Structure 1
Amino acid sequence: MKPGLRGPRRIVCLTEETTEWLYLLGQEERIVGISGYTVRPRRARAEKPRVSAFLDGKIERIVALEPDLVIGFSDMQAALADKLIRAGLNVLVTNQRTLAEILDTLRLVAALVGAADPAEAWIAACQARHRAIAQAAAAWPRRPRVYFEEWDEPMISAIAWVSELIGLAGGDDVFPELAVQRMGRDRVIADALEPVRRAPDLVVGSWCGKKFRPERVAARPGWAGVPAVRDGRLHEIKSCDILQPGPAALTDGLEQLHRLFAAWAGAARSPGPA
């Protein structure tokens, strides 16, 4: 550990986005434990012990690591955070849901480790790319209507930051009224035919860690006439790329959405067969 290092020196990250962010900031030496679901960056799995799932963790092992800070995400980790607090640890749990809240959280974590300047540089570059993507999409004659499915049984639509990313990438979320709901249970689509009525041009699935099955979506009763199904535009973006409220969603998740929408827009502009 570098002498004179400011802030917490031994951090356990209960979710992937904090691990990825600390690596991007060059602060990975502070990390002493990570989530078992971490895949970004790839080398973290080889370098750091995996001490938690999402809803629970190895409390005794985490305590043994002697962290001076444990960082988690969302109300769903409340029970895990409670156990760690009762074990005498310092715990920070954030609950970001929007793009603005994600950026605020990145700044908060960066400030804790004395890395505000590189954080601001990264955020500025990221926002510049966002503006370029939005400008490119503004040239399309029409924006695609997009149904983003976070889970299949029950069907859960896009969380707020994903809905905002859809907009930045050049599309329109077909369930904007659900995106403002902070809890997954409040984004459940009770009527399986409601997405059909909203006629999405694309369906994007990211089933929280399990493989998206487009053929199952296409086979749902009454879905054959949906433009996305009719045109074969059912796509997967892996949850690690878009459902983590951190750097991945702001970069790879957005880029993948934009590529899908740009391909759709290009096909929509192409003249039909003579």
Structure 2
Amino acid sequence: MNRLPERIVCLSTETVEVLYALGEARRIAGISGYTVYPPVARKEKPKVFAFTSGDLERILAVRPDLVLCFSDLQADIARDLVKAGVAVHVFNQRSVEDILAMIATVGRLVGAEARAGALISELEGVITQARAAAATLPRRPRVYFEEWDEPPISGIRWVSELIAIAGGEDIFAELATRPSARDRILADPLEAARRAPELVIGSWCGKRFRAEKVSARPGWEAVPAVRTGRLHEIKSAIILSPGPVAIREGLPALAALIAECAHEGSA
């Protein structure tokens, strides 16, 4: 008897990405409207929920035998689904290692352990390559990663870890372990300027990063990154989603910016 779930609803983009990567897309019965990866999922799969809001009945209408949720942000819908008699698994990956563990768990849930292991090995290879390249850099540039601008919010844990892997120094590493965005709000917006980042990376979730707005902030005129024009955007879809894409695409994007900064500063 096949006891594996056949109708899975994924309420965050990461588990959709993993199921497609494992060749198990046929099991997906519904997705979040905020799903980005892979792009084909938005065309093929019904959108049954937003991320933290939506109609429970739309999820139940696709008759899921398993719903995959993410973090305390979806605690309410997870509770309601459990009350409705649906099996729910809530992931809470916050670090690079958590991302890899999430992939392994999804693989076990659908009986694709070997393929999940292969995907993890591939991503570990990307990490190893990035670490090796970082070891050759002449120095480790100071990096300010901004997740939101008003109020300014520093980067979450997996982003901070990826910055370190890529050869940079996250100037707010001490805040990165705080899972809630509100706990990473800079109490004093000028603190980022005082820490003198040489590279500013913006990933304002849901809107375009505007380097000119950052450069024009009061007290920022002497910041090294502003003086050299090193203010760049990495799209939130490839860095703020704690799934394979953050390692496969987000890490190389970080590494390229950090390497360029490191070499220029040592010239």
> Normalising TM by the smaller chain, what interval?
over 0.9
Q: CA deviation at 1:57?
A: 2.3
Where has structure 1 moved over 4 Å in runs of 4 or more?
Answer: none
Contact 1:209 1:238 in 2 (8 A): no
Matched, 1:182 2:179: yes
SS at match of 1:111: helix
Contact 1:6 1:113 in 2 (8 A): no
Q: CA deviation at 1:90?
A: 1.4
Amino acid aligned to 1:203? V
| Cα distance between partner residues in 2 of 1:83 and 1:209 | 27
Structure 1 counterpart of 2:83: 86
Unpaired segments ≥5 residues, structure 1? none
Q: CA deviation at 1:55?
A: 0.8
Structure 1 counterpart of 2:55: 58
SS at match of 1:43: helix
Structure 1 counterpart of 2:227: 230
Matched, 1:16 2:29: no
Q: Which of 37, 46, 56 is 2:34 aligned to? A: 37
Amino acid aligned to 1:123? I
The within-5 A match list for 1:69-84 is: 69-84=66-81
Q: Which of 95, 98, 101 is 1:101 aligned to? A: 98
Q: CA deviation at 1:107?
A: 0.7
Structure 2 counterpart of 1:155: 152
TM-score scaled by structure 1? 0.94
Contact 1:6 1:114 in 2 (8 A): no
Measured against aligned partners, the alpha-carbon deviations of 1:228-271 in whole angstroms (never above 9, x if no partner) come to: 1111111111111011111111110101101111221232244x
Measured against aligned partners, the alpha-carbon deviations of 1:115-170 in whole angstroms (never above 9, x if no partner) come to: 11011111112112211111111111111110001111111111111100000111
Contact 2:126 2:247 in 1 (8 A): no
Q: CA deviation at 1:5?
A: 5.3
Q: Which of 259, 262, 269 is 2:259 aligned to? A: 262
| Cα distance between partner residues in 1 of 2:176 and 2:123 | 23
Unpaired segments ≥5 residues, structure 2? none
> In the comparison of the two structures, how many residue pairs are matched?
267
TM-score scaled by structure 2? 0.96
Q: CA deviation at 1:87?
A: 2.4
| Cα distance between partner residues in 2 of 1:117 and 1:55 | 32
Matched, 1:133 2:130: yes
RMSD (CA atoms): 1.3
Deviates more, 1:60-69 or 1:129-138: 129-138
